[in-house]
Structure 1
């Protein structure tokens, strides 16, 4: 075997992960030159040890190269990473996130109200996609008429399987996003507001403003991370809840279980299945020698099914505790937006569970995964209930 792929069974990659954990937990794909890492301890190490496994990526001018994320938090190492992260931490403190709760609830109700009496909807299109897009667009001060472009861009950007293989539309989405955000940045320079873009424009690190590349990186990261993770968390949760017998009835009877159930969704069907790193130095994983500058894929979706850390790992358990999943990453790159994603998911799922009795996946549904091995989510999720 010289190649690893989960594309044969994209909705159920987990048996393939298990096979790799057992047979080749640290695997070199000779065709692409990518190293793949599958076991929990190794994935945790790759995500945590930034001195050995760097987040850097190429590209110095995002507006020209399409490498929008090159100067963003997710692809920056210390000490610059620490400086950049400190700028946006204030926008995502527990208090500031909780303050968004009433608005998130209002948006959820606005989206659900038209559907409740009909008995059916596409949960992705009608709720899971628009909710986080509206929230992040409002935080960034983006006009409502531009929200649909957000989803098109972020879908195109997550739909690639490895750094050296970009599908059609990926570069175009980067370019369109760069041009759009350059225009928004220029607007905010002239007329600052209370939004995140204005906050970043005003911010300084050691007396210096952010570069244009860093501003673009922040905007792109907030857009993609701000909607893709939450959209797929909500959709994956409904799929998990409807699959596991008795789970929905239990959550209706014991709504206090919902936060624990959401953590189990994050483990069982992680919205982000993998993360890329570059070996910063010659290093070793298990008995394999990883040369400096080698690219690696840390398979979060596999780590979260590792039976050495999760008893009955292939069973969805709404009471699982402890649940030290890696769905939001680890170490300095732990997802800054995790509290917001959890809050949006909890509010949306509370409404779904309480307002849609007898919820089930529509019998005729043909479920398809998004075109990405990095992100795990459904293109559509037709559901029905008793109106």
Structure 2
């Protein structure tokens, strides 16, 4: 990586970073546990204990960050108590009972996709399977008709391929415009879906404003689409690289839940998210001033050998219940249960239909300042 003084530079905006990130993260954890980039003007925490503690301390590490200035209000960029009230409202859609009830729908969708892929003998896995399943699920949950699913999927992918803060304006505007029209339609003709429920929901006796509604819808489609699609793509590439792990899953499919957790740990779809310090913080002999931008690097924390023995080894028998791929604290992912279900079912159905598959070319990753995701995964199936 490019040198800064006597050290090195953590710069996830370059394609090279995606090839070197484990080495970079290890150097940061071991030698620069409070990393500071004076040119870019941010700090970064990478050790598991530090990231977990910061994520659990919203009073010190606030979610009010600069990204909030370029997007309409959404929970990911709020602190309690407002964030708590909004989270409570949306969490009704993610109860264990509601999530479990979606399994057959997810399974049916996965089987239809594998039928089509089987007829061709090959596919581009990321866009013909991994990205399709979560988009169908989130569309059904929110209330999007079929005609909106493909455009929505295309626009949300633009948020993955971001190599600078704020590089997603056009995609956000398109999503806002789509939902503004649909929310107006729900006010005229209500349905039994989440969009209708949001238009009538109240917090402290007040209905949500238009900006809050659009912010909600954007967060739901981003959280529901991109991270799960990235998890599926990363998982299939890991399993092609570790055939002994795939063989174990084929022999013992009951291991899929722990395999999903290990994929999440090893290739966390969300590698980093920002916070803003509300006071001076002293950590590892370094001082982070109040008002500083601090990156919580989930991907590095999930490879910390202080928490995970031999952390870069992919092992589906590992029990890694404390990984941070879904975040921690007040912003722990509301859809974690649904993402786990989608991934388990999607992998089960794929491997039941295609126990033998192999890469049909070199996979290609996105360059992204926050995500770990594949743009292209060519596969041959048997």
- Bin the TM-score by the shorter chain: over 0.9
| 2:172 corresponds to | 174
| 2:183 corresponds to | 185
In the superposition, relative to structure 1, how do residues 18 and 151 fare at CA in structure 2: closer, same or farther (>3 Å)? same
Q: How does 1:62-141 map to 2 (within 5 A)?
A: 66-68=70-72, 71-141=73-143
* Mean CA deviation greater in 192-201 or 172-181: 172-181
Q: How does 1:139-154 map to 2 (within 5 A)?
A: 139-154=141-156
Deviation of 1:157 after TM superposition, in Å, equals 2.3
Deviation of 1:376 after TM superposition, in Å, equals 0.7
Which of residues 10, 26, 46 in structure 2 aligns to 1:4? 10
Contact 2:272-2:295 within 8 A present in 1 as well:
yes
Check if 1:23 corresponds to 2:31: yes
Q: For residue 273 of structure 2, give the secondary structure of its aligned residue in structure 1.
A: strand
Deviation of 1:162 after TM superposition, in Å, equals 4.5
Q: For residue 323 of structure 2, give the secondary structure of its aligned residue in structure 1.
A: coil
In the superposition, relative to structure 1, how do residues 26 and 66 fare at CA in structure 2: closer, same or farther (>3 Å)? closer
Distance 2:67 2:340 in 1: 32
Deviation of 1:296 after TM superposition, in Å, equals 1.1
Check if 1:372 corresponds to 2:372: no
Contact 2:261-2:320 within 8 A present in 1 as well:
no
Q: For residue 258 of structure 1, give the secondary structure of its aligned residue in structure 2.
A: helix
Q: For residue 376 of structure 2, give the secondary structure of its aligned residue in structure 1.
A: coil
* Mean CA deviation greater in 14-23 or 80-89: 14-23
Check if 1:41 corresponds to 2:49: yes
Which of residues 194, 197, 203 in structure 2 aligns to 1:196? 194
| 1:332 corresponds to | 330
Q: For residue 97 of structure 2, give the secondary structure of its aligned residue in structure 1.
A: helix
Deviation of 1:66 after TM superposition, in Å, equals 4.4
Show structure 1 runs of 5+ residues with no match: none
Once superposed, what is the RMSD of the aligned Cα atoms?
1.6
Q: For residue 36 of structure 2, give the secondary structure of its aligned residue in structure 1.
A: strand
Show structure 2 runs of 5+ residues with no match: none
TM-score by length of 1: 0.93
Contact 1:11-1:369 within 8 A present in 2 as well:
no
| 1:384 corresponds to | 380
TM-score by length of 2: 0.94
Contact 1:310-1:323 within 8 A present in 2 as well:
no
Distance 1:157 1:256 in 2: 34
In the superposition, relative to structure 1, how do residues 89 and 154 fare at CA in structure 2: closer, same or farther (>3 Å)? same
Q: For residue 43 of structure 2, give the secondary structure of its aligned residue in structure 1.
A: strand
Distance 1:136 1:329 in 2: 20
* Mean CA deviation greater in 172-181 or 103-112: 172-181
Deviation of 1:58 after TM superposition, in Å, equals 5.2
Contact 2:60-2:279 within 8 A present in 1 as well:
yes
